[in-house]
């Protein structure tokens, strides 16, 4: 297999007399003379003991490396970082979450570009390291494949991390005792794997599979399973085939394939974070994608998966009936997926789905097309005088389609959470949390602590929440995030006053402040930019570079 075509990057590093120093160093890390004639495959591992989502990925990286080696390559494992949303949620540390996506992308691009890998396998297991891996791979544009680290097994009584956040709200409402809260805390997370509902990790794994950048069914395997080990070995083998055929991310990550990813995210009731991450991934792939594409596609794609957080089932239960492959086959058969898109198998999406069996009779996790959970998308892009360049809501329909109330304004997540827990927030309030956007945070924190507390206190239909921050995939209720322009750059959310009327209408797709345009303009004319919260380090650098959330919050848009 080895030739100039398959070794066009590594040959520059290891061939010829002048590269003897390179070979000398590689001998020390285990290269034999014969290895220098093999295509080199970088295995980007996000292993870390920081979080259960990634604690097992070192073994999966070894499995992927073995697959590449068996197929005639020479694998080289390297690491990148990860941070945990679940652990840092509700704290200042959560500001680093979205920032980590860019650090991961930069580090994969840096290592693979420097070391001359001919192909890359990237393995991610937590929310941001998946799009981070994908952004890095698409920037490099070398034969590549993504592997999902897999979902966690359910905790006792089908609990997961969101059960704990909502138990905190229940405790504040007097519905959950100290002992009950401790029992939930102790039993919700049983071991390795990503959070168990259709939260951001499982959403993004499904989106990447629909994009064609993962092997079929990679999104629907438990973290600790023979299936996941075999998926990694096959991925190592598959990247060698991609190298041989010179199939690159740019051949796979096309406009049509992003439309496929959006379609699947809607059908599974996925996280609002998918909007942010798909916009960023498309930008890295030089594909034009906009907020309005989610509206256009969402008008004809129904929500079919009855999964958490707003539904009943966990990812592990979806795995038991076949994962997302049968759903994708249904969507393809009715013309909602593009079947001619290339994938990492070297075959088209239609070819991959040709022999997929339907879901078993009697299952009620994935609804039939004629009996959808919602006839159109739950991801609703809103515009109006509060969001001139857009905002993103997750409206399942269970919380209603319209909310009007009076603003209760908070300048941070912490102050809002305290007010929810102590009873300051009451029925008909529209909670406004601002200065939490990409620039203002800096870092665009997720608001799972406030939304979890709202649901735990039983106020899911009584209050709404809008923010220039974002939401965990575990958030549900009447919530609107990604409000742009954000407060820190002078968006209208900056001039809302407590007591102002606010209307959210999912049917007309509007988000409006119920004061006169003249009053809005007067307030904006008096607005002054706040001083930056950070003046040094990665957060300060991020705030200087980051684009709007409506553009994916990327840091290389100059």
| Residues carrying an active site annotation | 472
Q: Are 350 and 339 in contact (CB under 8 A)?
A: yes
The number of CA neighbours under 13 Å toward the Cβ of 504 is 32
Cα of first residue to Cα of last residue in the chain, in angstroms, is 41
Q: What is the DSSP string of 266-325?
A: HHTT--THHHHHHHHHHHHTT----HHHHHHHHTT--B-B-BTTTSSB-HHHHHHTTTTH
Q: What is the DSSP string of 139-165?
A: HHTSSEEEEE--BPPP-GGG--HHHHH
The CA-atom distances, in angstroms, between 207 and each of 269, 271, 389, 395, 467 are 11, 11, 25, 19, 25
Q: Which of left, alpha, beta for 84 (phi over 0: left; psi -120 to 50: alpha)?
A: beta
**What SS3 class is residue 393?**
strand
Q: Are 52 and 189 in contact (CB under 8 A)?
A: yes
The number of CA neighbours under 13 Å toward the Cβ of 32 is 4
CB-based burial label for 48 (10 Å; 0-12, 13-18, 19+): buried
């Amino acid at each position: 297999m080895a030739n100039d075509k398959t070794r066009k990057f590594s040959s520059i590093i290891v061939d010829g007399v002048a590269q003897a120093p390179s070979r000398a160093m590689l001998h020390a890390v285990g290269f034999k003379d014969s290895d220098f004639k093999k295509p080199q495959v970088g295995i980007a591992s996000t292993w870390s003991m920081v979080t259960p989502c990634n604690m097992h990925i070192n073994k999966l990286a070894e499995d992927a490396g073995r697959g590449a080696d068996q197929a005639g390559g020479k694998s080289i494992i390297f690491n990148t970082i990860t941070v945990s949303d679940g652990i840092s949620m509700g704290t200042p540390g959560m500001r680093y979450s979205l920032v980590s996506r860019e650090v991961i992308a930069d580090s994969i691009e840096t290592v693979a570009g420097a070391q001359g890998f001919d192909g890359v396998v990237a393995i991610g297991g937590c929310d941001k390291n998946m799009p981070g891996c994908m952004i890095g791979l698409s920037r490099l544009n070398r034969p590549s494949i993504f592997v999902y680290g897999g979902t966690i097994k359910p905790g006792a009584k089908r609990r997961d991390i969101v059960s704990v956040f909502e138990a905190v709200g229940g405790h504040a409402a007097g519905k959950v005792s100290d002992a009950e809260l401790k029992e939930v805390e102790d039993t919700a997370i049983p071991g390795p794997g990503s959070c168990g509902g259709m939260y951001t990790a499982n959403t993004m794994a499904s989106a990447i599979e629909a994009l064609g950048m993962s092997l079929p069914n990679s999104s629907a395997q438990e973290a600790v399973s023979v299936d996941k080990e075999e998926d990694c070995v096959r991925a190592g083998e598959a990247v060698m085939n991609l190298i041989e055929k010179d199939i690159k991310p740019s051949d796979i990550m096309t406009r049509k394939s992003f439309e496929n990813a959006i379609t699947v995210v809607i059908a599974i009731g996925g996280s609002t974070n998918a909007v942010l991450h798909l916009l960023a991934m498309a930008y890295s792939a030089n594909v034009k994608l906009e907020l309005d594409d989610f509206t256009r596609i969402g008008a004809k794609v129904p929500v079919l998966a009855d999964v958490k957080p707003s539904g009943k089932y966990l990812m592990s239960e979806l795995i038991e009936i076949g994962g997302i492959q049968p759903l994708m086959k249904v969507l393809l058969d009715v013309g909602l997926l593009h079947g001619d898109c290339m994938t990492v198998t070297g075959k088209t999406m239609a070819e991959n789905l040709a022999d997929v069996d339907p879901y078993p009779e009697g299952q009620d996790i994935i609804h039939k097309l004629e009996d959808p959970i919602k006839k159109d998308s739950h991801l609703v892009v809103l515009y109006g005088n509060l969001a001139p360049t857009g905002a993103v809501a997750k409206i399942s329909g269970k919380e209603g389609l319209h909310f009007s109330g009076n603003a209760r304004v908070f300048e941070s997540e912490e102050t809002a959470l305290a007010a929810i827990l102590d009873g300051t927030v009451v029925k008909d309030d529209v909670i406004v949390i601002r200065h939490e956007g990409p620039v203002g945070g800096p870092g665009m924190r997720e608001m799972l602590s406030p939304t979890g507390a709202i649901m735990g206190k039983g106020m899911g239909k009584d209050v709404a929440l809008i923010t220039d921050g974002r939401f965990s995939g575990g958030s549900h209720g009447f919530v609107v995030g990604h409000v742009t322009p954000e407060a820190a750059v002078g968006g209208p959310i900056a001039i809302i006053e407590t007591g102002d009327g606010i209307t959210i209408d999912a049917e007309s797709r509007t988000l409006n402040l119920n004061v006169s345009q003249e009053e809005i303009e007067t307030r904006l004319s008096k607005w002054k930019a706040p001083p930056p919260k950070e003046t040094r380090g990665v957060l300060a650098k991020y705030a200087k570079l980051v684009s709007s959330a409506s553009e994916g919050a990327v840091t290389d848009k100059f």
